[in-house]
Amino acid sequence: MSEKDGNRRAAPVLYLVVPCYNEEEVVERSADVLGGKIRRLKKEGRIAEGSKVMFVNDGSRDHTLQLLHRIASQDALFSVVSLAGNYGHQSAILAGMMTARQYADAVVTIDADLQQDIEALDRFLDCYGNGCEVVYGVRNDRHSDGFFKKGTATLYYGLMHLLGSKVITNHADYRLMSKKALDALAEYQETNLFLRGLIPTMGFASDVVYFDVKAREAGHSKYTLSKMMTLAMDGITSMSVRPLRMISALGFIVFVFSFVMSILSLVDWARGNNVPGYTTTMIVSLLIGGVTLLALGIIGEYVGKIYMETKHRPRYIIDTLVWREERQEDE
């Protein structure tokens, strides 16, 4: 296809990076579906020989790793990066992308549970061919989500935009990045990683591809409420200092309010109407106490982030890597 149209980029070596955490129920099926897609795209000449599926085992405690190793030993199309522990979805993706960029021209990250429609890959490749360095997969609707997930997601994206983050609504981490974009991402050294917010701030020519979300093929969501809350907090505090500004604004309002109240009380006192004001006193002290604690909490959140950043710890540790050259007869 590249010879037909001089403006298009040549077919890339594509790596699918697939994070897996306790996914024993689904990995074999994922390997079938994702591997099948890669084979078809190779045959059609849309991606180059050497393209692979790279699973990232994020410290699974079930049999995921054994299954992945078996899959990779049977077919060199599959590669396995195994992390030393559970570093979380974002770090697992990062580990996969950083490993894959040594071999690939483009990397697509996709969940192991096959919720994200792999057939959208053709359109990702179209955008890449047209010169995009980043392509975001955006879900069409949230039918397959429960009421809770749908509600919290809507609330979350609203809040993120309010706080000035550039996150793309309904874009999870189904995304294509070119080698150039990945090399740029490697320059970002932050520990508090929120890829969805970070990548749009990098710039680069980008596009959006819409896809349908299906129900999970097997197993249950690995995003526990606490993992979700952590991601949400990271998303806000790693992308925006607006909460700190809000504290300043709130502090100013409370200050003006207390100043006026003090004057009024003094005037009252001077006039001799020293009325007992239990309710007012309670409200004012509770209000100020509450606001102070809230402010301290928010500031503490940022201080904690600074603390973690200053340690410069590695964001993930790779325990083992399985990667084999495909022989020609494997096709």
Query: Which of 23, 58, 113, 173 touches Mg ion by CB under 5 A?
Result: 113
Choose the contact partner of 112 out of ligand UDP, Mg ion, none; CB within 5 to 8 A by kind: ligand UDP
Tell me the C-alpha to C-alpha distance, in Å, between residue 134 and each of 11, 46, 171: 16, 18, 13
By the 8 A CB rule, do 197 and 167 touch? yes
By the 8 A CB rule, do 247 and 298 touch? yes
89 binds ligand UDP (CB under 6 A): yes
Choose the contact partner of 223 out of ligand UDP, Mg ion, none; CB within 5 to 8 A by kind: ligand UDP
Q: Measure the CA–CA gap between 81 and 243, rounded to whole angstroms.
A: 37
116 binds Mg ion (CB under 5 A): no
CA 54 to chain centre: 18
195 binds ligand UDP (CB under 6 A): no
Q: Measure the CA–CA gap between 90 and 124, rounded to whole angstroms.
A: 21
Strand-pair partners of 178 = 106
117 binds Mg ion (CB under 5 A): no
115 binds Mg ion (CB under 5 A): yes
302 binds ligand UDP (CB under 6 A): no
Q: Which residues neighbour 161 within 8 Å (Cβ) at sequence distance 6 or greater?
A: 167, 169
Q: Measure the CA–CA gap between 169 and 92, rounded to whole angstroms.
A: 22
Residue 198 CB, nearest approach to ligand UDP (Å): 17
**Of residues 86 and 265, the one with the C-beta less far from ligand UDP:** 86
**Interface segment toward ligand UDP; rule CB under 6 A; list 106-114, 174-182, 190-198, 311-319:** 106-114
The number of residues in the chain equals: 331
Contact track, ligand UDP, 249-268, x by CB under 6 A: --------------------
Size of the site for ligand UDP (CB under 6 A): 16
**Upper half-sphere CA count for residue 90 (Cβ side, 13 Å):** 18
Alpha helices by DSSP H, the chain: 27-43, 64-74, 89-100, 121-129, 147-162, 179-186, 195-201, 225-239, 242-270, 278-310
20 binds ligand UDP (CB under 6 A): yes
Query: Which of 12, 88, 129, 137 touches ligand UDP by CB under 6 A?
Result: 88
86 binds ligand UDP (CB under 6 A): yes
Contact track, ligand UDP, 208-227, x by CB under 6 A: -------------xxx----
201 binds ligand UDP (CB under 6 A): no
**Interface segment toward Mg ion; rule CB under 5 A; list 49-57, 111-119, 270-278, 321-329:** 111-119
Q: Measure the CA–CA gap between 282 and 294, rounded to whole angstroms.
A: 18
Angle between helices 89-100 and 179-186 (to 10 degrees): 120
- Binding residues among 49-78 for ligand UDP as defined by CB under 6 A: 58
Q: Which residue has the tokens 């998303």?
A: 235
Residue 223 CB, nearest approach to Mg ion (Å): 7
Query: Which of 23, 24, 25, 117 touches ligand UDP by CB under 6 A?
Result: 23
DSSP one-letter code for 154: H
Residue 254 CB neighbour total at 10 angstroms = 16
19 binds ligand UDP (CB under 6 A): yes
**Interface segment toward ligand UDP; rule CB under 6 A; list 33-41, 85-93, 101-109, 178-186:** 85-93
**Interface segment toward Mg ion; rule CB under 5 A; list 103-111, 177-185, 188-196, 267-275:** 103-111
Sites of contact with ligand UDP (CB under 6 A): 19-21, 23, 58, 86, 88-89, 92, 111-113, 115, 221-223
